[in-house]
Structure 1
């Protein structure tokens, strides 16, 4: 399993760079994705587009999954549900994901998204496949 828990343990990818997400993980089984909202993240109503929150959660869950699997393996989203609690229009969004259970080929996760004032914006559950090897 990966013993590196900082944001430099995996290379960035184009969507992460485009959206401006920063990744971190402070412990095994956890992953955090943070982004500072600006105009490119907004829907026509001026709040964060749902797809931006989805990408943020999916990325945090991927980071958490990668922390509990061997370095020669990788993961892919199988299923993810997202419940929007309140709109966010400015400041930071922080998605914190945790592994609920790691099986042989599937990882189950939960995540919560908060804004910079620690208000709950969304909750999520997801399943990731363990691939490669």
Structure 2
């Protein structure tokens, strides 16, 4: 089984293609993405699916940090409210665990757009425009879902 504490855990083709990084501290995770042309929809703003992928991955990573070793997680539901459009800049999804139960972990994520030149690396809440808010629930699994190998994939 892949160790979620390994720095390469969570490195999968979609994440690599989108080009975002995860920074973890305790049970909080910050997903960071420098927006470029491939992330924009035909209207010139960040595609909603890019924001969703950022949040989903950050929430999954935060969940893996608080569940027992040997367990896995899977998204049950994510509610994402888009507050305003985002263009070029740096997106940061600050994600934290709200409650860890035996079978379900509840989380929230706040996504902000920060001008890359102004990003001093400080807390997400004190800089930039908030573009999205999300809450999510992740199932705690004691074994991989049927049809999925222990190393991932089918």
TM-score normalized with structure 2 length? 0.78
Alpha-carbon RMSD across the aligned residues, in angstroms, is 1.8
The equivalent residue for 1:125 is: 135
Tell me the number of residue pairs that the alignment of Structure 1 and Structure 2 aligns. 129
Q: Is the 8 A contact 1:100 1:110 kept in 2?
A: yes
Distance 1:56 1:3 in 2: 17
**Could you tell me how far 1:24 is from its partner in structure 2?**
1.3
Distance 1:95 1:3 in 2: 19
Distance 1:63 1:50 in 2: 20
* Structure 1 spans left out of the alignment, 5+ residues: none
- In structure 2, do the counterparts of structure 1 residues 115 and 103 end up closer, same or farther at CA, with 3 Å as the change threshold? same
- In structure 2, do the counterparts of structure 1 residues 3 and 15 end up closer, same or farther at CA, with 3 Å as the change threshold? closer
Q: Is the 8 A contact 1:32 1:63 kept in 2?
A: no
1:32-76 deviation per Cα after TM superposition (whole angstroms, max 9, x unaligned): 111110111111100000000000000111111011012211111
Q: Is the 8 A contact 2:4 2:64 kept in 1?
A: no
Match of 1:50 among 30, 48, 51: 48
* Structure 2 spans left out of the alignment, 5+ residues: 116-127, 144-154
**Could you tell me how far 1:91 is from its partner in structure 2?**
1.0
Moved over 2 A (4+): none
Q: Which structure: larger Rg? A: 2
Distance 1:104 1:51 in 2: 30
The equivalent residue for 2:59 is: 61
The equivalent residue for 1:115 is: 113
Q: Is the 8 A contact 2:4 2:10 kept in 1?
A: no
Q: Secondary structure at the match of 1:67?
A: helix
- In structure 2, do the counterparts of structure 1 residues 59 and 52 end up closer, same or farther at CA, with 3 Å as the change threshold? same
The equivalent residue for 2:23 is: 24
Structure 1 or 2: more strand by fraction: 1
